[in-house]
Structure 1
Amino acid sequence: MTRAVAAAVPELRHFARSAAQRWGIPQDACDTLLLVVSELVTNTVLHSGSSDVMAVIVFDGVAVTVEITDSGRWLVRDVKEDQDADFGRGLDLVRACTSWCAVHPSASGTRVVVRLPAESGAGR
């Protein structure tokens, strides 16, 4: 767990990169993992109002599961209103890069769980 500040994004991205390298995950799958972690942690920092963020990353030999948890509540966007905005597409990008994505808001915070293939070229 770390503070939900801008520095958390590169910190947790570094954590994910180190884990992927230990597991021998191919570079393109690692790049996707880093993108997903960056987007989800950025959402927490910018949109949740949380003071903290936690990342859990698990590799089962086939795929990587990423769980990002915070103690805040993500703001709900008006998709029609945001259609032409320069930002606001992070979660859509995460969904496009992963084989599974679930957002679990609750009174105690938000938990996002995603799964992405760990083979070279997978998931795209």
Structure 2
Amino acid sequence: MIKVKRVYDAPESDDGVRILIDRLWPRGVKKDLVDIWMKDIAPSDELRKWFNHEPEKWEEFKHKYMEELRSNPKVKVLIEVIRRSENVTFLYATKSPYNNAVVLKEYIESLLTK
């Protein structure tokens, strides 16, 4: 099972492996609250800055980020972590519901069901 939640939310017993998937380390977060930091799976700086969590850019952001993921070798690493774990939680920092964690979960789940 893959969950998505803010890194600032309290850890729960069913989080499993907690993976931070943001390029930048979030302010005030202790390193022991994150099991793995996969900053290289996050959207490129260019895409992240362009999107800026603007809802009207959401669909185009999803498309562009999935394009980046298709050529990102870290996707294979992430899939291996997921296959070895009962539960995985993708952590993100933004308050916006429009974020890369949602897209990454959708993308990874589509690969796992093939």
- Structure showing greater radius of gyration is 1
For the superposition of Structure 1 and Structure 2, which TM-score range results when normalised by the shorter chain?
A: under 0.3
Identify the structure with the greater helix proportion.
2
Identify the structure with the greater strand proportion.
1
Q: TM-score, with normalisation over the residues of structure 1?
A: 0.26
